[in-house]
């Protein structure tokens, strides 16, 4: 599978960790806007249909534009966003902590704009502080992580990032760096999974639905941002996903209340059983890519075990 990405880790200094982390989970519209301001060549106040803007990074990476091939559109539908943040879970960071870490995965075409993504996160922190969302916050360190989580420094403080030090990862390397499962795989959700079935958010964990949705997410990211098509084997993989069963089901629906519906979803852990030979690349990549609604801003994050 031709699937390239980078895994960045940010150390953020702040005196307001709890409020900042809470804000980051709902920062999608603000992040998209600061990214637009950074890359806009026309210094416009909003995006337009100007032909000169067709290759604008904001439009390419945030526009979720459908492809020109009708069969591909039918298969992949709306493209996901090619970046994925992982933030600390609520309650895991001390209110007295003066720093915390979060990560950012950039997929395919997004790798070419690593500097802009780093600038956008920095601007997001500055703007949020100025409007009173949280106290002052700054990025003190940016690192690129390898297959095993070993860091390489990309930037310290406000120094321009050294993108020559980026460690590019791929699907095969991710699979090879992990233990091979037998016929059981444990899965635990770190942040709530918001997955829809027949138009409604699922309140329980369905292994087949989870795996099929994960396959669609990975294949769409590969098609739209890595120029890789995997439709030839998709039906075979879907058949394998449908045969996976749950040996242990400790999942539950976490309801954050009507004021925080965006943070509601399935949490907990369990053990899946079946033939994972063809499914392992999707499961391993999913640890980086998350799944479900809000996946690009921290939701649907999980960890595997075997």
**Residue-wise pLDDT tens for the chain (306 aa)?**
789 999 999 999 998 898 899 999 999 999 999 999 999 877 766 666 666 677 789 889 998 887 777 776 667 778 999 999 999 987 666 666 689 999 999 999 999 999 999 999 999 999 988 888 888 999 999 999 999 999 999 999 878 899 999 999 999 999 888 877 679 999 999 999 999 887 788 899 999 999 999 999 999 999 999 988 876 677 888 889 999 999 999 999 988 654 555 678 999 999 999 999 889 999 999 999 999 999 999 999 999 998
Q: Can you tell me the distance from the alpha carbon of 197 to that of 206, in angstroms, rounded to the nearest whole number?
A: 10
Q: What kind of architecture, by CATH, is found in domain 179-305?
A: 2-Layer Sandwich (3.30)
According to CATH, where is 3.30.70.1900 located in the chain?
179-305
Can you give the chain as a three-state secondary structure string?
Answer: CCCEEEEEEEEEEECCHHHHHHHHCCCHHHHHHHHHHHHCCCCCCCCCCCHHHCCCHHHHHHCCCCCCCHHHHHHHCCCCCCEEEECCCCCCCCCCCCEEEEEEEEEHHHHHHHHHHHHHHHHHHHHHHHCCCCCCEEEEEEEEECCCCCEEEEEECCCCCCHHHCCEEEHHHHHHCCCCCCCEEEEEEEEEECCEECCEECCCCCHHHHHHHHHHHHHHHHHHHHCCCCHHHHHHHHHHHHCCEEEEEEEEEECCCHHHHHHCEEEEEEEEECCCCCCHHHHHHHHHHCCCCCCCECCCCEEEEC
What pTM was estimated for this model as a whole? Answer: 0.92
Q: Residue 10: beta bridge partners?
A: 102, 142
């Amino acid at each position: 599978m031709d699937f390239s990405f980078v895994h960045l880790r940010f150390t953020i200094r702040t005196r307001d960790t709890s409020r900042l982390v809470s804000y980051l989970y709902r920062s999608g519209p603000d992040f998209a806007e600061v990214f637009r301001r950074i890359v806009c060549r026309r210094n416009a106040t909003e995006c337009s249909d100007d032909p000169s803007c067709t290759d604008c990074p904001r439009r390419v990476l945030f526009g979720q534009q459908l492809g020109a091939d009708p069969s591909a559109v039918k298969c992949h539908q709306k493209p996901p966003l090619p970046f994925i943040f992982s933030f600390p879970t609520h309650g895991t960071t001390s209110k007295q902590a003066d720093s915390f870490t979060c990560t950012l995965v950039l997929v395919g075409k997004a790798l070419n704009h690593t500097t802009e993504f780093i600038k956008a996160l920095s601007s997001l922190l500055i703007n949020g502080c100025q409007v009173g969302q949280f106290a002052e916050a700054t990025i003190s360190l940016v690192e690129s992580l390898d297959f095993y989580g070993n860091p390489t420094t990309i930037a310290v403080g406000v120094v321009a990032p050294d993108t020559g030090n980026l460690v590019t990862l791929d699907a095969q390397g991710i699979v090879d760096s992990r233990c091979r499962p037998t016929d059981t795989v444990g899965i635990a959700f770190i942040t709530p999974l918001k997955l829809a079935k027949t138009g409604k958010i699922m309140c329980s964990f369905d292994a087949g639905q989870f795996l099929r949705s994960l396959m669609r997410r990975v294949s769409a990211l590969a098609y739209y941002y890595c120029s890789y098509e995997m439709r030839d084997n998709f039906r075979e993989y879907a058949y394998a996903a449908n045969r996976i069963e749950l040996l242990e089901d400790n999942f539950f629906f976490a309801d954050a209340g009507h004021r925080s519906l965006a943070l509601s979803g399935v949490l907990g852990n369990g053990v899946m059983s079946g033939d994972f030979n063809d499914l392992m690349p999707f499961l391993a990549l999913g640890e980086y890519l998350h799944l479900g609604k809000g996946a690009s801003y921290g939701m649907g994050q999980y960890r595997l075990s075997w």
